[in-house]
């Protein structure tokens, strides 16, 4: 009898809006949760936001708002996104909630009472972006963060320490005894060798930071953000607020990106052991989404906005692509072109065709009712393959090999499409002597689709439900049990419903255009759009401080070319003296690219990067806009001006 199953996503930092990397883990967690529910488990899926720490405090300061206001805003963006892409979480924890404070205080108090916390002083280089200690070498030798490569900052202050060093043997024993505690195996080996290399005690409090949970016994310190956030996995399921619930569901399966595996597979079990609590059931460290072989991240500006992707591509396609394209555990390149290719080949061609030809033939040849099976070439083959696919799908799903599980389902789809072609139903439809054969083809195709709908339900829930309903089935496909699913005759005699084509083909050019225009609309509405004001109206007054936020610089164009497929866009490379950067400018109708080389221009140098046609634009060229067509005219100088000079 299946029992309980508790699964978590990371708690996302609220310094910036969601991006593709975070969306991925959440889609996978939701898929697993749905699968486990359909396997009969009593499932809880926890999502959440990590709202304290230096990184958030700083980000809020730059934006001129309080950390809590920033957290509230980004929390809403996350919860809206999860709804939009069909994430059915059972619990959501924000680390600023009182129930979480209680849990953190309890963890700290228990660890201290058990002798694992002591007071000392910490000096070392700290990476604010990773919220992690990088090195303790001397203050005159700055180090870059070993994880993300960014500059670190020197901190020297009184601090409470966690005796991580005391857990080396117990952690190694844990990895040894529970070989699946860390997955995939390659990462387990990396973590084990990191621990074997020796563990240093960890500073778990900060005296110079305000934005955090005060230590219960010394409120002049706040808890280190990782000690705080990891406890969200406990507070989110009732630790210290509903202990019965907590005991029922804990321990959890954690899904995280490989960059934060160490926190989950080393620090976290040690914190739990110190507090006398059970360690997690397992921790899976998945790979990264890359763009042109580089990790996608906000700071590199090479990521995609999940809201835009969802608006243009839809959540079902995103979910399918994420699960099918990336081998869970490995890195994978993301490109809109590959998403569309997957859509057109797997969804439109293979699955969409199978459904539409099956329902169309049942309507045309059998008055819309699924016939009872007769006998056709390949019947047994299809049935046998369906059985095998169900088995291996479950095996791969249990093993977190989602792409393999989906490959299996598509093997069945391809086989049934081939089986239909081999039996040529359109040719035998007119021959009464072949009626049984036609019956069999129609039945086998419909029954295969019923099974396929069930198997796809965890990954693409809306599509699966649509398939289900087109076959004339009632209730929810998510209500069936995947541990019991098998080939049956239950469709025989049932009236199908049919419906619109599930996946009309997509034109990659059109999709890219749409992404650009949604991106543009979004960034226009973000910036507040002076260009939308009537020409005679001057924009509302600002202060000199407001103006000084805009960093206008002189630069020289060193490269200029048209952007394929975009009539208005030029890709420019400009030299700022201290750096070169790529800018996309909508001036192609007014300027020939060759005429711009060597020209001095003015750019907005501190504009958030954005993507157009898959290319990053790192700033904006300043131009006057004239006439009803808004013809751009570039700003220039009469005197010679050095690159990099600021306009103020």
- What's the rounded Cα separation, in Å, for the pair 638 and 568? 27
Give the binding-site size for ligand MSP (rule: CB under 6 A): 21
- From the list 92, 167, 249, 288, which residue makes contact with ligand MSP (rule: CB under 6 A)? 288
226, HSE (Cβ side, Cα atoms, 13 Å): 23
| CB of residue 620 to ligand MSP, shortest distance in Å | 26
The residue number whose beta carbon is nearest to ligand MSP equals 257
- 252 vs 451 by CB, closer to ligand MSP: 252
| CB of residue 289 to ligand MSP, shortest distance in Å | 4
216 Rama sector, left if φ>0, alpha if ψ -120 to 50, beta otherwise:
alpha
From 143-151, 290-298, 570-578, 608-616, span contacting ligand MSP (CB under 6 A): 290-298
**Residue 48: φ, ψ to 5°:** 180, 175
DSSP states of 536-600: TSPPPP--HHHHHTS-EEEEEEEEEEEETTEEEEEEEEEE-SS-EEEEEES-TTT--HHHHTT-E
Start-end of H helices in 64-97: 67-84
| CB of residue 14 to ligand MSP, shortest distance in Å | 8
| CB of residue 132 to ligand MSP, shortest distance in Å | 10
465 Rama sector, left if φ>0, alpha if ψ -120 to 50, beta otherwise:
alpha
- From the list 12, 116, 239, 267, which residue makes contact with ligand MSP (rule: CB under 6 A)? 12
- 249 vs 419 by CB, closer to ligand MSP: 249
- 22 vs 458 by CB, closer to ligand MSP: 22
- 234 vs 574 by CB, closer to ligand MSP: 234
- Other Cβ atoms closer than 10 A to 38: 23
- From the list 24, 271, 321, 393, which residue makes contact with ligand MSP (rule: CB under 6 A)? 24
- 22 vs 461 by CB, closer to ligand MSP: 22
- What's the rounded Cα separation, in Å, for the pair 370 and 473? 12
- What's the rounded Cα separation, in Å, for the pair 477 and 454? 6
Give residues 211-250 in contact with ligand MSP (rule: CB under 6 A): 229-230, 232
- What's the rounded Cα separation, in Å, for the pair 581 and 588? 18
- From the list 295, 444, 450, 613, which residue makes contact with ligand MSP (rule: CB under 6 A)? 295
Give residues 44-73 in contact with ligand MSP (rule: CB under 6 A): 50
- From the list 7, 25, 101, 585, which residue makes contact with ligand MSP (rule: CB under 6 A)? 25
Q: How big is the CA angle at 98 (ends 96 and 99), to the nearest 5 degrees?
A: 110
The candidate with the shortest Cα–Cα distance to 338, out of 361, 356, 317, 312, is: 317
- What's the rounded Cα separation, in Å, for the pair 350 and 435? 26
| CB of residue 618 to ligand MSP, shortest distance in Å | 19
Q: In the sheet where 294-295 sits, what is the strand order?
A: 294-295, 289-291, 332-333
- 260 vs 272 by CB, closer to ligand MSP: 260
The candidate with the shortest Cα–Cα distance to 574, out of 565, 585, 563, 564, is: 585
| CB of residue 26 to ligand MSP, shortest distance in Å | 9
- 22 vs 632 by CB, closer to ligand MSP: 22
- 292 vs 549 by CB, closer to ligand MSP: 292
| CB of residue 350 to ligand MSP, shortest distance in Å | 27
| CB of residue 336 to ligand MSP, shortest distance in Å | 16
- From the list 11, 283, 351, 370, which residue makes contact with ligand MSP (rule: CB under 6 A)? 11
Would you count residue 86 as binding ligand MSP (CB under 6 A)? no
- 232 vs 454 by CB, closer to ligand MSP: 232
| CB of residue 609 to ligand MSP, shortest distance in Å | 16
With beta carbons less than 8 A apart as the criterion, state whether 124 and 134 touch: yes
Tokens found for residue 223: 């808890």
Place of tokens 């255009």: 513
Would you count residue 306 as binding ligand MSP (CB under 6 A)? no
- Other Cβ atoms closer than 10 A to 167: 22
**What is the DSSP secondary structure assignment for residue 147, as one 8-state letter?**
T
- From the list 191, 296, 386, 473, which residue makes contact with ligand MSP (rule: CB under 6 A)? 296
Which H or E run contains 254? strand 253-257
| CB of residue 585 to ligand MSP, shortest distance in Å | 28
- 39 vs 191 by CB, closer to ligand MSP: 191
With beta carbons less than 8 A apart as the criterion, state whether 603 and 578 touch: no
- 130 vs 451 by CB, closer to ligand MSP: 130
Would you count residue 129 as binding ligand MSP (CB under 6 A)? no
Place of tokens 């496909």: 477
| CB of residue 502 to ligand MSP, shortest distance in Å | 29
Burial of 489 (0-12, 13-18, 19+ CB in 10 A): exposed
- From the list 13, 92, 304, 443, which residue makes contact with ligand MSP (rule: CB under 6 A)? 13
| CB of residue 333 to ligand MSP, shortest distance in Å | 11
Tokens found for residue 47: 């999502």
Binding mask 248-287 for ligand MSP (x = CB under 6 A): --------xx-xx---------------------------
| CB of residue 269 to ligand MSP, shortest distance in Å | 13
Place of tokens 């972006």: 129
Longest dimension (CA), the chain: 92
With the C-alpha atoms ordered 230, 235, 239, 243, is the resulting torsion angle positive or negative? negative
From 9-17, 382-390, 451-459, 518-526, span contacting ligand MSP (CB under 6 A): 9-17
| CB of residue 31 to ligand MSP, shortest distance in Å | 15
- 56 vs 348 by CB, closer to ligand MSP: 56
Q: Which residues bind ligand MSP (CB under 6 A)?
A: 10-13, 21-22, 24-25, 50, 229-230, 232, 256-257, 259-260, 288-289, 295-297
């Amino acid at each position: 009898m299946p029992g309980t199953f508790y699964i978590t996503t990371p708690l996302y930092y609220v310094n910036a809006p969601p991006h593709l990397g975070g969306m991925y883990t959440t889609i996978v967690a939701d898929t697993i949760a749905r699968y486990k529910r359909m396997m009969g488990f009593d499932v809880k899926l926890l999502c959440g936001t990590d709202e304290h720490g230096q990184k958030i405090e700083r980000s809020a300061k730059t934006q001129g708002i309080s950390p809590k206001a920033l957290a509230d805003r980004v929390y809403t963006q996350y919860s809206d996104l999860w709804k939009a892409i069909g994430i059915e979480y059972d619990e959501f924890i924000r680390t600023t909630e009182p129930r979480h404070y209680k849990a953190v205080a309890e963890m700290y108090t228990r660890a201290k009472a058990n002798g694992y916390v002591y007071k000392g002083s910490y000096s070392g280089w700290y990476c604010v972006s990773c919220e992690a200690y990088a090195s303790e070498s001397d203050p005159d030798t700055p180090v870059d963060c070993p994880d993300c490569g960014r500059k670190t900052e020197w901190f020297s202050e009184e601090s409470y320490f966690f005796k991580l060093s005391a857990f080396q043997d117990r952690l190694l024993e844990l990895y040894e005894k529970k070989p699946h505690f860390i997955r995939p195996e390659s990462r387990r080996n990396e973590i084990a060798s990191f621990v074997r290399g020796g563990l240093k005690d960890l500073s778990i409090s900060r005296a110079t930071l305000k934005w955090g949970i005060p230590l219960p016994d010394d409120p002049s310190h706040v808890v280190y953000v990782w000690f705080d956030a990891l406890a969200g996995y406990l507070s989110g399921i009732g630790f210290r607020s509903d202990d019965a619930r907590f005991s029922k569901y804990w321990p959890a399966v954690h899904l995280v990106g490989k960059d934060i595996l160490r926190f989950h597979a080393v620090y976290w079990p040690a914190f739990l052991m110190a507090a006398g609590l059970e360690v997690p059931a397992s921790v899976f460290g998945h790979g990264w989404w890359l763009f042109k072989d580089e990790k996608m991240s906000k700071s590199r500006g090479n990521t995609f906005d999940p809201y835009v992707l969802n608006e243009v591509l839809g959540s079902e396609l995103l979910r399918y692509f994420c699960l099918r394209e990336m081998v869970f555990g490995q890195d994978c390149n993301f490109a809109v072109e590959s998403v569309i290719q997957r859509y057109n080949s797997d969804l439109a061609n293979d699955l969409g065709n199978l459904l539409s030809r099956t329902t169309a033939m049942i309507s045309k040849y059998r008055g819309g009712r699924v016939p009872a099976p007769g006998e056709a070439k390949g019947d047994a083959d299809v049935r046998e393959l369906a059985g095998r696919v169900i088995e291996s799908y479950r095996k791969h799903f249990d093993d977190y090999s989602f792409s393999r599980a989906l490959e299996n389902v598509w093997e069945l789809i391809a086989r049934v499409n081939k089986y239909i072609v081999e039996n040529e139903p359109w040719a035998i439809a007119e021959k009464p002597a072949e009626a049984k054969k036609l019956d069999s083809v129609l039945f086998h195709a419909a029954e295969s689709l019923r099974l396929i709908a069930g198997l796809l339900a965890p990954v693409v829930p809306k599509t699966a439900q649509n398939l289900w309903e087109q076959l004339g089935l009632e209730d929810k496909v998510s209500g069936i049990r995947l541990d019991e699913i098998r080939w049956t005759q239950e469709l025989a005699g049932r009236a199908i419903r049919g419906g619109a084509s599930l996946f009309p083909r997509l034109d990659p050019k059109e999709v890219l255009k749409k992404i650009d225009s949604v991106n543009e609309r979004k960034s226009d509405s973000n910036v507040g759009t002076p260009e939308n004001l009537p020409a005679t109206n001057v924009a509302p007054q600002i202060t000199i401080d407001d103006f000084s936020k805009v960093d206008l610089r002189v630069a020289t164009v060193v490269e200029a070319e048209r952007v394929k497929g975009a009539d208005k866009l030029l890709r420019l490379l400009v030299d700022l003296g201290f750096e070169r950067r790529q800018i996309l400018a909508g001036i192609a109708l007014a300027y020939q690219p060759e005429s711009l080389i060597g020209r001095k221009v003015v750019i907005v140098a501190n504009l958030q990067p954005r993507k157009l046609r898959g290319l990053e634009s790192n700033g904006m060229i300043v131009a006057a806009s004239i006439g009803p067509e808004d013809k751009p005219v570039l700003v220039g100088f009469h005197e010679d001006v050095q690159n990099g000079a600021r306009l103020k």
